[in-house]
Homo-oligomer: A and B are copies of this chain.
Amino acid sequence: MAQISPSRRLRRTPFSDGVEAAGIKAYTVYNHMLLPTVFRSVVEDYHHLKQAVQVWDVACERQIEIRGPDAGRLMQMLTPRDLRSMLPGQCAYVPLVDETGGMLNDPVALKLAEDRWWISIADSDLLFWVKGIVYGFRLDVLVDEPDVHPLAVQGPKADELMGRVFGDRVKDIRFFRFGWFQFNDTWMVVARSGYSKQGGFEIYVDGWDNGMPLWDALFEAGRDLDVYAGCPNLIERIEGGLLSYGNDMTRENTPHECGLGRFCNTQTAIGCVGRDALLRVSLEGPVRQIRPIEIDADSLPGCDRIWRVTDPRGKPVGAVTSAAVSPDHGCGVAIGMVRMTHWDPGTQLLVETPDGSFDARVRDTFWN
């Protein structure tokens, strides 16, 4: 693996000092920010995430704040998910699409009030699209990046740790709901959410300068819980079927191809700019779709490019876009886009990697 060159353009976060002190070994870049990927090793981090509790610097999930009378209208323009029933205090995973129905981002939206939303974005400059739409339609909203920086607490002991820092009331937050909690005299949004299947929270840290004090408080309070610095774990997120924008889906894909049809209400999402383009696919379904793919492999190279997927005779039928070897499942775990003719569970496939071809098959469900 090559190194990553420092520059201001690859922005540090409020938690970078803590990340470095914890012995960060590797990063990726996400929304022009540093996102940790490895602390001890991907496998050690994986086991630890499933057993203990980790604090994750996910400040790269940058917030777009939308305020003003047209905030709700704008949000509905961005997504085919019908947001009319959404209440303040709720989070919603929202596929965001362009006028052709192509995915621009797959963020979590937080409804703070009828006229105030945050969009907690995946890796694309969604702000540019939102600003373009707002300007083009002369919408009555303010759009900006607030001084808010997500910090995730993930793992089976997350409730215990968070209770110690924010009080036991934090444990009452239901999945994809949020509440306001105080730290050092600052009120912050705390949501039960996060990019793992091990449970936990995301703290929307209000104010850059509150970052390291909160980081330190979590580590201080969690000493006996084996708290450690962590990050989204490649193996665990594939096992759990958590998609990654830019890896498993791009602007080429509709939400339906990404298996996100359940987050779309294309008939009723009136005003969504991609609605017309998605109407047919929402009725008839896509011709290719994301599937969990089990690979017969003890080791795999890093999936740094699309791996072609064929039927056993070599006919191309899809592509793998994320892959790793799972210690808990003893096989290669992968996310891929497969054509309808070959997406049924059990279908035998070949996955072509730079290290050779491997037998593989479509699974019914993800692993966790």
**Alpha-carbon distance between A124 and B132 when the two chains are bound, in angstroms:** 14
Contact of A125 among B27, B128, B135, B304 (CB under 8 A): B128
Contact of A132 among B25, B131, B322 (CB under 8 A): B131
CB contact list, A1-43 vs B, under 8 A: 1-12, 24-29, 32, 37-38
Does A321 count as interface, using CB distance less than 8 angstroms?
yes
Taking residues whose C-beta sits less than 8 angstroms from the other chain, chain A's interface range is 35 or more
B302→A6 contact, CB < 8 A: yes
Does A173 count as interface, using CB distance less than 8 angstroms?
no
**Alpha-carbon distance between A26 and B3 when the two chains are bound, in angstroms:** 4
**Alpha-carbon distance between A128 and B135 when the two chains are bound, in angstroms:** 13
Name A323's closest neighbour in chain B (CB-CB): B8
Does A265 count as interface, using CB distance less than 8 angstroms?
no
Taking the closest CB of chain B, its distance from the CB of A299, in whole angstroms, is: 14
Name A246's closest neighbour in chain B (CB-CB): B9
A135→B273 contact, CB < 8 A: yes
Per-residue contact bits, chain A 295-314, to B (CB 8 Å; 1 contact, 0 not): 00000001111100000000
A5→B129 contact, CB < 8 A: no
B7→A4 contact, CB < 8 A: no
B6→A3 contact, CB < 8 A: no
Per-residue contact bits, chain A 340-363, to B (CB 8 Å; 1 contact, 0 not): 000000000000000000000000
Name A248's closest neighbour in chain B (CB-CB): B8
B3→A28 contact, CB < 8 A: no
**Alpha-carbon distance between A124 and B62 when the two chains are bound, in angstroms:** 15
* Chain B hits for A125, CB < 8 A: 124-125, 128
Q: Given contacts A4-B1, A133-B136, A135-B136, is CB(A29)–CB(B12) below 8 Å?
A: no
A12→B305 contact, CB < 8 A: yes
Does A235 count as interface, using CB distance less than 8 angstroms?
no
B132→A303 contact, CB < 8 A: no
Q: Which residues of A contact B (CB under 8 A)?
A: 1-12, 24-29, 32, 37-38, 98-99, 104, 123-126, 128-133, 135-137, 234, 244-247, 273, 302-306, 321-322
Further pairs besides A8-B303, A136-B137: 7, Cβ < 8 Å? A2-B24, A2-B26, A6-B303, A8-B321, A104-B128, A125-B125, A129-B132
7 A-B interface contacts by CB (under 8 A)? A4-B28, A5-B26, A5-B234, A7-B244, A32-B246, A128-B128, A131-B132
Q: Which 9 A-B pairs have the closest CB atoms?
A: A136-B136, A132-B132, A9-B246, A6-B302, A6-B304, A125-B125, A29-B29, A128-B128, A128-B129
